Amino acid sequence: MDKEMNIDNDIFIALVEARPVLWDNTLDIFKGINATREAWSQVCYELNEDFKEMESKEKNESGTFA
């Protein structure tokens, strides 16, 4: 990976907390892979504005889940 991402932990936590599908296992949607993938994609987009343009390999190398 050429570029290292520096992520503010407080921002990351807030982004995940705002998406219960990522952490609340009492929700039926928690088990839905599409919903969780979409939520992780949203988190990634907010952390890195270039995320949409990245190649799949780059996304995986940056530690993202989409």
Structure tokens that stand for 41 in this block: 């994609």
| H or E segment to which residue 16 belongs | helix 9-17
| H or E segment to which residue 10 belongs | helix 9-17
pLDDT of residue 2: 47
Give mean pLDDT, residues 4-24.
89
pLDDT digits (tens, 9 = 90+) for 27-48: 888 888 899 989 988 888 888 7
Residue 12 has pLDDT above 70, yes or no: yes
Residue 16 has pLDDT above 90, yes or no: yes
CA 53 to CA 66: how far, in whole Å? 13
Q: Residue 13 — pLDDT band, cuts 50, 70, 90?
A: very high
